[in-house]
Amino acid sequence: MTIPALLVAAVVGRLISTAALGDAEILRHHTIGRRLSLEPDDLDAASKDFGGTVTVAPLAVLRPATTGDVAGVVHASYRSPLAFPVSARGHGHCTGGQAAAAGGVVVAMTTERRRWERREETQLGMPEYSPSYGGYFVDVWGGELWADVLRWTLRHGGLAPRSWTDYLYLSVGGTLSNGGISGQAFRHGPQISNVYEMDVVTGKGDLVRCSREQNQDLFHAVLGGLGQFGIITRARIALERAPRGMLFADFREFTRDQEYLISLEGRPSGERFDYVEGFVVLDDGLINNWRSSFFSPRNLIKLSSLGSAATSVLYCLEVAMNYDDSTAGSVDQDVAALLRKLQFMPETEFATDLPYVDFLDRVHKKEQKLREEGLWEVPHPWLNLFVPSSRIADFDQGIFKGILRRNKVGGPILIYPMNRTKWEETTSAVTPEEEVFYLVAFLRSAVGDSPEELQKTLRYLTRQNELILGFCRDSGIPAKQYLPSYGGRRDWEEHFGHRWETFLRRKMEFDPKGILGTGQGIFQLNSVIVAGHDAETKTRNPTSSPGRR
């Protein structure tokens, strides 16, 4: 449906009513009018996210056809004495309004139209080999989904990105703005450690090409930067030869053995696993175990069948080994040799042989099952923590065997270790200071037979998250939130710790008006940032931010 030009002009006029540029000039030079959507369905979709707990309405949705469209709307805001918020949105998988733009513009980087009707500037590039990188790479639009990147690179050269998230239907720009982790991160590092170069639109509307060698400060700021410094419009992703398949096994395990397995990351293929994740198993329900291959029709075992173990918390380790035609004959023996060094209940070991793509897409298949059961499009009060290895036993005792053992969980719990050496210190991502730390992810879903019961469950799970954070605080466990959500500036300063001054300096340089990422609730829009504090000026935007809950 075509939007009347006068209506578009009226919206642009509201956005930049005090701007130095006239509405007509903005429309003419930046083609905002042709790309803005005011459709109620688009505005409604952009006001919500996967979390289902926050609704924040933008004034308009921009569907960019080129990088210039993205730069144009940000530049228009920056030129205005009273800027309006601009936030990039990928597949909408935030859980607390982090990609919202109250009263501003949401830039829809990922759309069905874009996925299948790519224009020349934003299409997926052909994979190439670079002697300077010592490997292959592919250039992709920031809004591309990792699932589409995988299909493209496999089709063109049998290649695949080195580092993944468990769920592939996330945008490239979205995961690079946070970290991008899975059971492969102990080997290759997070996704932010596997990107060579980016094109970024800063909070001033400037399009900047950056890498570890060029405009390094912006490059490092944007990676893990929570959308605070720029919108990623292109990323150059590191690739590797894709294995033919994955042989993986599930079983009960201890953290000691998890850390042993990730310590083997420098060993030759066949002497180490390529993927290590863990799960905390408290019951047999689908809603609590959908992320794990341990819970599957073929491998299903009931906790009650494990005798006395059923009265305690169970830990399931999922490991995988890649193989190709040259190693297919020995992969079973290699896996068996590694498993013999571990301690687990033999009756809980299962082996499965999967094509590589099926292994990577396994969570999406579980998503389809949840959709069939009406359990996907519900509120998701998720909590993700990085916990230092030295305190993971205390965390286990107080949380898994304490708070959660006495209460219903509401979703899967992931737990697996990572090597800090695989994370670049210069990025904006925050991890514990220890060399080995754990991701503990509480992937909760609030369900109920009625709206009232659903809201009651949501309050219950949210309160449980608060108890977990309170236990860490009171016990002196220096956990860091991954995909963080905090209530105020002091919490953010504590989160970043000694990195706060660098984070603030970069914000002043690349987005001094606080236009980008307002949904995170870190900085005030239209603020003068001085000496580590926001001096809030007059603003016509709401005083509350969706990131402040």
Q: Catalytic positions, please? A: 93, 166, 277
For 38, residues 6+ apart whose C-beta sits below 8 A from its C-beta are 3, 7, 8, 11, 60, 61
**Which 8-state DSSP code applies to residue 431?**
-
Taking alpha carbons only, the member of 333, 341, 183, 336 closest to residue 260 is: 341
As given in the structure block, the two tokens for residue 61 are 């949705």
For 340, residues 6+ apart whose C-beta sits below 8 A from its C-beta are none
Q: Quick check: 276 and 258 in contact, CB under 8 A?
A: yes
Q: Quick check: 390 and 437 in contact, CB under 8 A?
A: no
Q: Is 236 helix (H, G, I), strand (E, B) or coil?
A: strand
**Which 8-state DSSP code applies to residue 121?**
G
Residue 501's alpha-carbon distances to 231, 488, 505, in angstroms, are 22, 16, 6
* 455 C-beta neighbours (distance < 10 Å), count: 13
* 533 C-beta neighbours (distance < 10 Å), count: 11
The amino acid occupying position 119 is R
As given in the structure block, the two tokens for residue 103 are 């009263």
Rounded to whole angstroms, the Cα distance separating 515 from 262 reads 40
Rounded to whole angstroms, the Cα distance separating 539 from 298 reads 58
CA 265 to the chain's CA centroid: 24
**Beta strand pairing status for 350-355 and 245-252?**
antiparallel
Query: Measured on CA atoms in the order 210, 213, 214, 219, is the torsion positive or negative?
Result: positive
Q: Quick check: 463 and 446 in contact, CB under 8 A?
A: no
Burial of residue 41 (number of CB atoms within 10 Å: 0-12, 13-18, 19+): exposed
Rounded to whole angstroms, the Cα distance separating 468 from 405 reads 12
Q: Is 277 helix (H, G, I), strand (E, B) or coil?
A: strand
The H or E element containing residue 202 is strand 195-202
Q: Quick check: 113 and 71 in contact, CB under 8 A?
A: no
Q: Quick check: 38 and 11 in contact, CB under 8 A?
A: yes
Rounded to whole angstroms, the Cα distance separating 202 from 229 reads 6
φ, ψ at 100 (rounded to 5°): -80, 160
Q: Quick check: 277 and 340 in contact, CB under 8 A?
A: no
The H or E element containing residue 337 is helix 331-339
- Nearest 5 degrees, angle CA 191-CA 229-CA 431? 45
